[in-house]
Amino acid sequence: MAAISTFQDALFRVRSLAELANIDPEIIEGLSHPKEIIMVNLPIRMDDGSQQYFSGYRCRYNSTLGPTKGGVRFHPNVNEDEIIALSLWMTIKCAVVDLPFGGAKGGITVNPKELSPMELERLSRAYIRVLADFIGPHRDIPAPDIYTNSRIMGWMMAEYDSIKRTHAPDVITGKPIELGGSLGRDDATGRGAYLCTLELIHKMGWNLTDMSIAVQGFGNGGYHVARLLQQAGCKIVAISDSQGGIYSEAGFDVESLWQCKQQSKRMKGVYCKGSVCEIVEYKTISNDELLILDVDILIPAALEGVITKHNADNIKAKAIIEIANGPILSEVDDIIHNKGIKVVPDVLANAGGVTVSYFEWVQNRSGQSWTLEDVQQKLKEKMITSFSAVWDLAEDEGRTLREAAYVKALRKISNAVEAHGTRDYFVHN
Ligand code: NAD
């Protein structure tokens, strides 16, 4: 069976929801094509003296609402199709939360865990050397994504600065604080998803302290959402990483798990003798088992395409908060909806990251440094306003939250395109 194209799946959703929202066919057609894509081969001198080639990509999908924005992913599965899909989702996401950005995404096909720190720095800088004219503070602004972090963003900014003989902290976000990063960027994605979860629990009339939660993926997004929800009184009963997961009916102390993972670099480290986690009763589970646990809220926070026709019927959660981009394939949207599962879609649930990236860009451009309280307050306002707008649209028009988020975004992009004139204007004036 041919693998499903992630981009075709993303596009199918956009096209069908655009029709539902009565978007002009000319605008739908415009949104069906990425603006520009660059594919590069990066020759890297390895520590043992050999030369290896790595494929890199960057796609600027749509810039109707402003310079394009999106993360850079380092992962062995990175390919052009995935990068284009992710850049389309970024286009929708920035419009859902009313940021003055279009959508982009980039990545390198590499397993960064197999590189030494020096090889990783050479690769990160090589990527920016070839992309220096493609990106820019007014054009396209990268940020971290899977297996990239603030240090890598710092290397990338330094490379851009030396090529352009300038100092341009606004060319990239998610930088170390010392190099112009914003306070509050590190947990922004998880915090945004946490705020959406609280809003959903409130709107549904559920009791916060009754909630059992499973989180797939224990990285930047997954760790912070689990930590914040546990602090708020929810029970985090399952967590996984790429190696597998663990389950405890009594719930985990997220911070202890995180410390164990930092020491051992893997979830399996929690099995280690003498670890603080030894005091917790747990059983090991696979990532597939985690997705179908009988929990109140499921939070996929790893890779796309994990909920498919093979497992959708078996999902037992009452709600899904999508921190990962595209964890639910469009082919099962109806199954999930008909089961009564509330889905807070990725384009809203994980928008906290790009929102604080936007705050970082604004601070860099105006020479300001906001306090953590200021950043968190602004993020809270943005997430709650956006959640409410999507919720109200869904209620008013009888749509799912995903449909409502897309309709909101597509109307915003469509209005901006129409400001230049579409066929109607040119034919009738
Ligand atoms: P990360 O690299 O910090 O963490 C990824 C986690 O997923 C790790 O714990 C890893 O072990 C785990 N993982 C990898 N493969 C897995 C698999 N096959 N099964 C289960 N777990 C697996 O990445 P992140 O930044 O937390 O990103 C996670 C997701 O959130 C991605 O889909 C990303 O696009 C999305 N996202 C991240 C941000 C952000 O600001 N970091 C913003 C928006 C969306």
What are the catalytic residues?
Answer: 105
Residue 302 CA, closest ligand 1 atom number: 7
| Per-residue pLDDT at 105 | 98
List, in order, residues 6 or more apart from 419 with CB less than 8 Å away.
none
Nearest CA to ligand 1 atom 37: 145
Q: How far apart are CA 233 and CA 307, in angstroms?
A: 27
| Per-residue pLDDT at 108 | 98
Dihedral sign, Cα of residue 134, residue 106, residue 74, residue 71: positive
φ and ψ at residue 356, rounded to 5 degrees: -75, -25
% residues pLDDT > 70 (the chain): 95
**98: nearest Cα among 422, 412, 424, 425:** 412
- pTM of the predicted protein model: 0.93
Q: How far apart are CA 191 and CA 199, in angstroms?
A: 12
Nearest CA to ligand 1 atom 32: 324
Q: Give CA 178 to chain center in angstroms.
A: 24
Nearest CA to ligand 1 atom 4: 219
Structural domains for the chain: 35-179 (3.40.50.10860), 188-349 (3.40.50.720)
Nearest CA to ligand 1 atom 5: 219
Ligand 1 centroid to 303 CA: how many Å? Answer: 6
Q: How far apart are CA 106 and CA 70, in angstroms?
A: 7
Residue 303 CA, closest ligand 1 atom number: 32
Q: How far apart are CA 69 and CA 61, in angstroms?
A: 9
Residue 223 CA, closest ligand 1 atom number: 26
Residue-by-residue pLDDT tens, the chain, 429 positions: 446 799 998 999 999 999 888 898 989 999 999 999 999 999 999 999 999 999 999 999 999 999 999 999 999 999 999 999 999 999 999 999 999 999 999 999 999 999 999 999 999 999 999 999 999 999 999 999 999 999 999 999 999 999 999 999 999 999 999 999 999 999 999 999 999 999 999 999 999 999 999 999 999 999 999 999 999 999 999 999 988 899 999 999 999 889 888 876 555 544 443 343 444 678 899 999 999 999 999 999 998 899 999 999 999 999 999 999 999 999 999 999 999 999 999 999 999 999 999 999 999 999 999 999 999 999 999 999 999 999 999 999 999 999 999 999 999 999 999 888 777 788 877
From the CB of residue 299, how many other CB atoms can be counted at a distance below 10 Å? 33
Q: How far apart are CA 342 and CA 391, in angstroms?
A: 11
Pocket lining for ligand 1, CB < 6 angstroms = 144-147, 189, 216-222, 240-242, 287, 301-303, 323-325, 350, 353
